[in-house]
Amino acid sequence: MVIMLLEVVTLLMCITYILYSKSLNKFYIGSTRGTMDDRICKHLTNHDGFTGKAKDWEIVFMEQFDYYEQALAKERLIKGWKSRKMLEKLIILSKV
């Protein structure tokens, strides 16, 4: 007799995102394996990290990937630009 076990896999979204705080006039670049709702809630809670300095973070860019490694690579690419103008251009082009 053959017993087959079925594994239930929960598909997680792999996302690179950019947040913007108007009060700080700063961007935050990150990636997640979960939902953006969960992630933004964590950013908006009281904590000692960079995003804990403001409570007005809004999502201005999101890109979804099949694998977290891809989202992380995109995050690192964007952070490597070190250019506000390039960030703003990416955000504008993503809205077209």
Domains (ranges, CATH) in the chain?
A: 14-94 (3.40.1440.10)
Gyration radius of the chain's alpha carbons: 17
Q: Please tell me the pTM assigned to this model.
A: 0.84
- The distance in angstroms from the start CA to the end CA of the chain is 57
Per-residue pLDDT, 95: 87
d(CA 83, CA 76): 13
Query: Which segments in the chain show pLDDT lower than 70?
Result: 1-11
72 CB contacts (<8 Å, ≥6 apart)? 16, 31
Per-residue pLDDT, 4: 52
Per-residue pLDDT, 10: 47
Per-residue pLDDT, 7: 45
Per-residue pLDDT, 42: 92
Per-residue pLDDT, 9: 43
